[in-house]
Structure 1
Amino acid sequence: MALSIGWPLGKRSAPDSADQSRDTSTSHPKPVSRLTAPSIVRRHRHRRENVAASVWGPSVPGADSAQPFSVYKAILRHPNIFFQFAIRLPPKAMIDLYSIDKEFHYRFNKYSTSIINDYATYHCPKAAYIFSWVFFPELCISDPMLRPMDGRPHLARDIPSLRWTKMVMYREHVIKSILTILAIDGHRVPRETNTTLMKFWLLMEMNTSSLRSAFLSDKTIWADQDIYFFHLLSMKLDMYFNHPVRGHGMVDLSHMMLTQKTLTPLYKMLAGHETMDYDDGVDLMIKTYHEMDLDLDENPWLADEVETGIPTEESGILMKEGWDPEGDRMDSPVDMVGMEGVRRGLDTQMYLIDFLTYGYYDREAKQNIAAPRRWWGEEKVGTPPEPWPVEEVRKHMIERLNERCRRISGSRVAAGDTASRIRRFRLGSSKMRWIAVVPQMTPFAKTSPNSILNANANRAECERGIVLFLG
């Protein structure tokens, strides 16, 4: 009889007949009828006990392979560095590690609430505070560690998820982009307007007048300064859309874009990601405003479903209670902020000129403020060291005006006289354009029709030259 592998010397393996007899004795009895279940064959029939395991196993330990040192594993297992490492990861890297690394996944779940809150606070502190996860239950998940709720131990509590973190970071990016685009065009706002716009975004998502009124009337949330800053931002948007040269749109476009559910449509329009033609603007206007706010006497086709192609239940849906087709009329969030300012007696209409000139002129230094510029083909935004016009340009302009005026009048005009006849007007953005008043002409010694025509031609040429030089 051959020796079996793994058995001590001198031991023989049991014959097959013994195994068969043992298996037969331990199996279930045969069925009485064919209709009953068949007998179950033992699953361990071909598995034999390793008798040497009880003797050789404990006395012969296995050789452990030496694992190389891993900085990543050491960071994960450190009680303090792990949290600082996790909150500084980019969002994509955070999700990738959470998906593929088992140890990171476990530790992240164990301290998920603390890590997610610290992560959002580290990257966007103001947005994480205003857009609290308590307001977004659809972006919460059950605790992976099954920690119970307060007073309900049979239910796991809700905690913020990574989707909430991505939402907060996205809204921070959208608001900063909107203010940056306005600043590049010359329409700057105070730094605190960033927080005001976040609060207004939260107001836009409320779909009832009672909830909006309660939110606006709370002075701990909406301070008087926030209402002033919102009116300032609204005027800057009107100036951007109603620019006399670039012509981005019309003045009523800002009110319509601020009446939407989110600020994403406004951001896409300002950034150029989406374009809006006349038909798109009309469709958005019909969906935004109530029929009471539309001029149906002059444009009765706006209420015609066949003409516009917009269903009746979607007409004016954004200004109805609960965004329900059968709801009552609801005021726009822009109008509600204005009414709250009137209720508090802030008299925002007294500061319209200040809102208009803010960001263009420094009253203390009595000069223009240099507007940021982004030149063609460059990604970075730069600010000139000096505002326009600089002193050298101003002096050179006065000298050129003196030379042109001397040729017309035939007399020498002092530089001080010309400078005193120059008036400044504020046009457009932060640039200061100079409009020169040509001094009165000295009468010619010999008057004739030709001389008068020549004088008028010279005067017109001078004025045209000044305009070209100044423009």
Structure 2
Amino acid sequence: MSTAEGQKRTADFSPTTPTNPNPPPQNTTAPHILRRHQHRRRNIAASVWGPELPPPPSTPGISQPASRATSSIFRKPPFNIYKSLLRHPNLFFQFCIRLPYTSIISLYSIDKEFHYRLNKYSLSLIHDYARYHALLASHVFSWVLFPKLCISDPMLRPMDGREWLARDVPGFRWVGMVLHRQKVVRGILTCLAVEGLRVPNKAFEVLCKFWCVMECKSVALREAFLQDGDIWSDQEILVFQLLLVKLDMRFSDPVLGNGVGELSHMLLTQKGLGILYKVLMGQIRIDYDKATDILVRTYLSEDLDTDTHTWLDDEIDNGVPEEEWGLLSREGWHMDGKRMDSAVDMVIMEGIRRGLDVQRYYLDFVLYGFVDGDGNNVPVPRMLRQGNGVNVVEVGLPNEQARKQALGKLREFAGLSCIDGMEVDTQS
């Protein structure tokens, strides 16, 4: 061919057309491109991954010898289960939904056919994937609340009938955020349950909703969420305060906790629940310096006892820049914002506004998860070392048999004459 392969011919093309009809000026030193040539190579993966190509046409009565490379391209490819799943009209959706998050991201990045088919049904597949792996969390953390995690429709479907504007759809970043927050909330509740501090099943949804309130940067927006009875019911406000009591019991425990009950209020006044999860999992150790740093960044100076603890009001001693003091207690998390109450206090005040009289249930909150209605001990879940699983025993400890065995061993060890109202023969 007289022209370069792969270039589109114009309407007035003729064989006598010069290679370059507009030559550059002679006084320029720029390189002059005479022609371009694209060397086409056969697709070496067409026999395995490519589409099924039809055999080359043959003229009857004339034998056309084919080269070894040509015959390898047009031969029938072997069966590939992955491509068969992609091209199946029904199994493709079930295959995508059941993929782990890291696997579907990898396939979407490296496989062109998987990328195209997923984009074609992106909206339904993203919603189905989120509902399959995080049914409740995907409902609470709706993609409408997170416009920064949305993308333009890959198939350029119009928004509200405007053909020049593609609609916004949730992307994989939103799915990853939902899965991460589900993991964090479940981890918090699991850590409490393993230590004997059980909460109702409703606590998962309540903690997810509270995370949404924590992210609001203004008092008006937080009040709009909390005062809506369709979003926060009376039962959910009571469950949250039960959860708050359990967190206070966890942090004030003389063995497992850090000895201070106010830590739960401080950790629930952050931008999210990530730091609370890391503290309960042991990934962050709350020492004196760490607690001081979080305290200064969370509360305003007028809310702290700076007369007794003078270093809280000194930038050199606490190590926190003055422009970052109390940012989490200001609207917009900005140093010039108005004062903003913490999300914990606003939930408590909402319970008072509704007249729930939560103080009547404090004793029930403390006893919940330890004894049942008959006064028997409730079994405590145990964390298994292998597989990171959680097992629940059938009988709560200590039962009657374990109690008698412990008393018998204590009598033998101490050599006492009377324990638990039973006389024992002692040996000198």
Scaled by the length of structure 1, what TM-score is found? Answer: 0.74
Q: 1:214 aligns with which of 193, 217, 224?
A: 224
1:382 aligned onto 2:391: yes
CA distance in 1 between partners of 2:77 and 2:284 (Å) = 54
Task: Point out the more displaced range, 398-407 or 284-293.
Answer: 398-407
Deviations 1:366-410 (A, max 9, x none): 31111122367784333232112222234456778999999758x
1:114 correspondence with 2:118: no
Quick one: which of 368, 385, 395 aligns to 2:377? 368
Look up the SS of the partner of 1:373 in the other structure: strand
Q: Which residue matches 1:458?
A: none
C-alpha displacement of 1:37: 11
Q: Structure 2 counterpart of 1:270, which letter?
A: L
**Which has the larger displacement, 384-393 or 118-127?**
384-393
* Among candidates 298, 315, 319, match of residue 325 of structure 2: 315
Query: Is 1:165 aligned to residue 175 of structure 2?
Result: yes
Structure 1 letter corresponding to 2:123:
T
Deviation, structure 1 residue 254: 0.4
Residue among 269, 272, 294 paired with 2:279 = 269
The residue matched to 1:154 in structure 2 has which SS? Answer: strand
**Quick check: 1:116–1:162 contact (8 Å CA) kept in 2?**
yes
The alpha-carbon distance between structure 1 residues 35 and 84, as it changes in their structure 2 partners (threshold 3 A), is same
Please say if residues 383 and 390 of structure 2, whose CA atoms lie closer than 8 Å, have aligned partners that are also in contact. yes
RMSD (CA atoms): 3.4
Query: Once the two structures are superposed, what CA deviation does each residue of 1:54-80 show, in whole Å capped at 9, x if it has no partner?
Result: xx9874887621111222212111111
Residues 26, 236 of structure 1: alpha-carbon distance in 2 compared, 3 angstrom cutoff: closer
SS at match of 1:155: strand
- Give the one of 244, 248, 252 matched to 2:254: 244
Return the alpha-carbon distance in structure 2 between the equivalents of residues 325 and 33 of structure 1.
62
5+ unaligned residues in a row in structure 1: which ranges? 1-21, 46-55, 420-437, 439-460, 462-471
The letter of the residue matching 2:395 is E
Matched, 1:101 2:95: no
In structure 1, C-alpha distance between the alignment counterparts of 2:336 and 2:135, rounded to whole Å: 39
Q: Deviations over 1:408-449 (max 9, x none)?
A: 58xxx9x9xx38xxxxxxxxxxxxxxxxxx9xxxxxxxxxxx
User: Are 1:223 and 2:233 an aligned pair?
Assistant: yes
Q: CA deviation at 1:200?
A: 0.3
In structure 2, the CA distance between the partners of 1:302 and 1:169, relative to structure 1 (3 Å rule), is same
Assess if the C-alpha contact under 8 Å between 1:23 and 1:42 holds in 2.
no
Amino acid at match of 2:399: V
Structure 2: distance between partners of 1:379 and 1:388: 22
| 1:143 corresponds to 2:118 | no
Structure 2: distance between partners of 1:187 and 1:33: 85
Letter of the 2:371 partner, please give it: Y
Residue 445 (structure 1) aligns with: none
Q: CA deviation at 1:154?
A: 0.8
Q: Which residue of 2 aligns with 1:16?
A: none
Residue 352 in structure 1 maps to residue 362 in structure 2: yes
Report deviation, 1:276.
2.2
SS of 2:392's equivalent? coil
Higher-helix-fraction structure: 1
Structure 1 residue aligned with 2:338: 328
Residues 68 and 332 of structure 1, relative CA distance in 2, 3 Å threshold: same
Partner SS state of residue 164, structure 2: strand
Count of residues in correspondence between the two structures: 382
Residue in 2 that maps onto 1:181: 191
Three-state SS of the structure 2 residue aligned to 1:191 is: coil
Once structures 1 and 2 are overlaid, which stretch shifts more, 109-118 or 147-156?
147-156
Is the contact made by 1:31 and 1:37 (CA closer than 8 Å) also made in structure 2?
no
TM-superposed CA distance for 1:299, in Å, is: 2.2
Segments of structure 2 that go 5 or more residues without pairing to the other structure are 1-13, 38-55
User: Residue 252 of structure 2 contacts residue 260 of structure 2 at CA under 8 Å; is this kept in 1?
Assistant: yes
CA 1:41–1:136: 2 relative to 1, 3 Å: closer
Question: Letter of the aligned partner of 2:216 in structure 1?
Answer: M
Distance (Å, rounded) in 2 between the aligned partners of 1:326 and 1:113: 40
The aligned residue for residue 312 of structure 2 is 302
Deviation, 1:212, is: 0.1
User: How far apart in 2 are the matches of 1:33 and 1:99?
Assistant: 46
Partner amino acid, structure 2, of 1:299: H
Counterpart Cα distance in 1 of 2:157 and 2:165: 8
Q: CA deviation at 1:301?
A: 2.9
Alignment of 1:6-17 (within 5 A): none
Which residue does 2:140 correspond to in 1?
130
Q: 1:392 aligns with which of 382, 397, 401?
A: 401
User: In structure 1, what is the Cα distance between the partners aligned to 2:321 and 2:102?
Assistant: 41
Q: Deviations over 1:12-66 (max 9, x none)?
A: xxxxxxxxxx99895779999955999x997599xxxxxxxxxx98748876211
Q: Please tell me whether Structure 1 or Structure 2 has the larger radius of gyration of its CA atoms.
A: 1
Aligned partner of 1:80 in structure 2 is 90
2:380 counterpart letter in structure 1: A
Distance 1:392 1:32 in 2: 101
- Given candidates 193, 207, 210, the residue that maps to 1:197 is 207
Q: Which secondary structure does the structure 2 equivalent of 1:368 belong to?
A: coil
Identity %: 49
Q: Give the match for residue 289 of structure 1.
A: 299
Task: Measure the CA separation in 2 of the matches of 1:385 and 1:296.
Answer: 51
Q: CA deviation at 1:244?
A: 2.5
Alpha-carbon distance in structure 1 between the residues aligned to 2:33 and 2:175: 56
